[in-house]
Amino acid sequence: MIQHWPLADPFYPLLNSTSSHLDQSASFQPDVGVPITRRRITGRIEGWNMSLILRDFARLESFKTWFNDDLQAGTLPFVWRHPITKEVARFKFTPATYDTSYLGAGVSRISFNALILPGRVWFAPYMRPNTARPPDWVADYAGDVFGVDGRRGVAADLDPLAGVFLVWQRNTAGTNVFREVTYSSDIPLIAPAGVSWLVGYKL
């Protein structure tokens, strides 16, 4: 199961959050001459210092439960959107902790450091705008992309799925349709007529 940012409000950090590019080099001093520096990894890693305002204790408790239980005390990565570009990315608390300031009248501020991890999120094109929740399943017939619970696979992986889903349908004409659908192990494994892809979010 892929974890994701749990709060719709607040969704983005405060504007005074700051970012930095991490040093990705390794260097050593030879016996003679200037130090030699080499790049250790090719992916870009961003470091962020973030703060968010939570308007009531219920939101704070939701954050704490997510951090402690779903992220196993902040040790697991999670999906969120980049504070500036809004693109889908994977984040990780570093260190695995946060600070809480109580501002009165139930309002609090949480502050933490996080890394934006390198690499593309394969299901990013199939996520609904302005959310961080990954789809429960993806069936991109035109692009031959299939996956369940954040794991990319094959069309047959969809076969056992059942339940009520909000389905985001992309038609071959380029239009999108949202509809509630109940499947009893009958998610189409081949493209229905006029459909490019189906993406399901369990209700």
Q: Average pLDDT of 150-166?
A: 95
Domain that holds residue 29: 18-116
Q: pLDDT by residue (tens digit) across 134-154?
A: 999 999 999 999 999 999 999
Q: pLDDT by residue (tens digit) across 71-105?
A: 999 999 999 999 999 999 999 999 999 999 999 99
Residue 148 covered by a domain:
yes
How many other CB atoms are found less than 10 A from the CB of residue 1? 10
Based on the domain organization, do 60 and 138 belong to the same domain?
no
Residue 6 covered by a domain:
no
Based on the domain organization, do 133 and 103 belong to the same domain?
no
Based on the domain organization, do 108 and 180 belong to the same domain?
no
Residue 190 covered by a domain:
yes
Q: Average pLDDT of 40-52?
A: 79
Is the model's pLDDT at 42 over the cut of 60?
A: no
Based on the domain organization, do 44 and 103 belong to the same domain?
yes
Based on the domain organization, do 111 and 129 belong to the same domain?
no
Alpha carbon distance 72, 185 (integer Å): 32
Q: What is the three-class DSSP state of 63?
A: helix
Based on the domain organization, do 59 and 100 belong to the same domain?
yes
Strand 78-81 relative to strand 88-93: parallel, antiparallel, unpaired? antiparallel
% residues pLDDT > 70 (the chain): 88
Residue 107 covered by a domain:
yes
Based on the domain organization, do 152 and 195 belong to the same domain?
yes
Residue-by-residue DSSP string for 87-156: -EEEEEESSS--EEEEEETTEEEEEEEEEEPSS--TTGGGSPTT--PPPSEEEETTTTEEEETTEEE-GG
Report how many domains make up the chain. Answer: 2
| Predicted TM-score of the model (pTM) | 0.85
Q: How confident is the model at residue 39 (pLDDT cuts 50, 70, 90)?
A: low
DSSP state of 200: E
Based on the domain organization, do 59 and 88 belong to the same domain?
yes
Based on the domain organization, do 76 and 138 belong to the same domain?
no
Based on the domain organization, do 99 and 158 belong to the same domain?
no
Based on the domain organization, do 129 and 112 belong to the same domain?
no
Q: How confident is the model at residue 19 (pLDDT cuts 50, 70, 90)?
A: confident
Last residue of a domain, one of 100, 116, 132: 116
Q: How confident is the model at residue 174 (pLDDT cuts 50, 70, 90)?
A: very high
Asked if residue 1 lies in contact with residue 150, where contact means CB atoms within 8 angstroms, the answer is yes
Last residue of a domain, one of 74, 95, 116: 116
Pick the closest to residue 145 from 174, 125, 161, 162 (CA basis). 125
Last residue of a domain, one of 116, 136, 151: 116
Proportion of the chain in helix, strand, coil states, percent, rounded to 5: 10, 40, 45
Residue type, 148: V
Q: Average pLDDT of 29-49?
A: 67
Residue 1 covered by a domain:
no
Residue 94 covered by a domain:
yes
Residue 77 covered by a domain:
yes
Based on the domain organization, do 67 and 100 belong to the same domain?
yes
